[in-house]
Amino acid sequence: MAKLIRFFKPFRVLSQFTDPNSRDTLARFIDVAGVYPAGRLDFDSEGLLLLTDDGALQARIANPKFKLQKTYCVQVEGQLSRDTMAQLTRGVALRDGISHAIKVDSLEASPIFPARTPPVSLRHAARSTWVQVVLDTGKNRQVRRMLAAVGHPVLRLIRTQIGPWHLGELAPGEWTQETIHLPR
């Protein structure tokens, strides 16, 4: 049996328990001993972060060889054309190689998420749209770098799903714990 924590990582919180620079970390929110993040979520990104006390489960979630899909709702500057979305799925050249999304969709309506502190500036928000991006890799700042490469810088990024686990109704800073029975 393994512990699995679903956590809504707030904006400007590190995906680790300590920081020599005194920034907010997971320790401010999670008081469960022996759990560790299964993967990372950037300091300036929000959303679903999984933590576990099981090394094998942690590897299955975080290791790119397992191709676990991750879904992101992303607020970008401007509006992505169909050609741009197709380019993202075909692949974009980044400094560490070609990176491609499994799927990119324009969201017709802005998703409902809790307000972020600080909020995206009104000037930027007025010219922005939301897209959903699905990846099965996890390179450093991959979604941000891909969207910047096609001319649409990210204003807000929220991971909503990792494999079968969803953000659900969690609010920023909230978490739930479950026990998972793993085949050995």
pLDDT in tens, 84-142: 999 999 999 999 999 999 999 999 888 999 999 888 988 888 889 999 999 998 788 99
Residues 56 and 131 reside in one and the same domain = no
Integer Cα distance of 58 and 52 in angstroms: 6
Q: Is 96 a catalytic residue?
A: no
Residues 109 and 46 reside in one and the same domain = no
Residues 111 and 176 reside in one and the same domain = no
Residues 102 and 157 reside in one and the same domain = yes
Residues 52 and 26 reside in one and the same domain = yes
Q: Determine phi and psi for 73, rounding to 5 degrees.
A: -100, 125
The CATH number that applies at residue 116 is 3.30.70.1560
Q: Which of 19, 24, 31, 42 is catalytic?
A: 42
Residues 131 and 173 reside in one and the same domain = no
Residues 150 and 74 reside in one and the same domain = yes
Q: What is the total count of domains within the chain?
A: 2
Q: State the CB neighbour count (10 A cutoff) for residue 174.
A: 15
Residues 92 and 152 reside in one and the same domain = yes
What DSSP state is assigned to residue 65? Answer: G
At 182 the pLDDT is 74
What DSSP state is assigned to residue 12? Answer: T
Residue 19 corresponds to which tokens in the numbers above? Answer: 């920081």
Residues 75 and 57 reside in one and the same domain = no
Give percent above pLDDT 90 in the chain: 82
The CATH number that applies at residue 3 is 3.30.70.580
Residues 92 and 155 reside in one and the same domain = yes
Find the domain containing 44 and state its range: 1-66+167-184
Judge contact between 162 and 39, C-beta under 8 A. yes
Q: Quick one: pLDDT band at residue 50, thresholds 50, 70, 90?
A: very high
